[in-house]
Amino acid sequence: MLRPASLDPDVLNERKEQDKVFALLFTLNPGYSDLIKHILRSEKLPSLEELCA
């Protein structure tokens, strides 16, 4: 609902990557909440690969 509908494959791939990042962040232990907030406040969301590194 927060993202406008799109059929553009590049946009859909970017959203899929973002969904993976969100899924990983929200499964972390609550002790990482400050780190999660820091990542979510950044100008650009990192890729899943960058996040895992």
pLDDT in tens, the chain (53 residues): 678 899 999 999 999 999 999 999 999 999 999 999 999 999 999 999 999 99
Phi, psi of 37 (to 5 degrees): -60, -45
Predicted pLDDT at 48: 94
Structure tokens at 24: 């990983």
- Is 1 a domain residue? no
Number of domains within the chain: 1
Residue 19 belongs to a domain: yes
Q: Are 22 and 14 contacting, i.e. CB atoms less than 8 angstroms apart?
A: no
What is the maximum alpha-carbon separation in the chain?
Answer: 38
In a domain, 21, yes or no: yes
43, part of any domain: yes
- The pTM of the full predicted model, rounded to 2 decimals, is 0.79
**Which residues constitute the domain of residue 19?**
11-25+33-52
Whether 6 maps to a domain, the answer reads no
C-alpha count within 13 angstroms, C-beta hemisphere, residue 35:
13
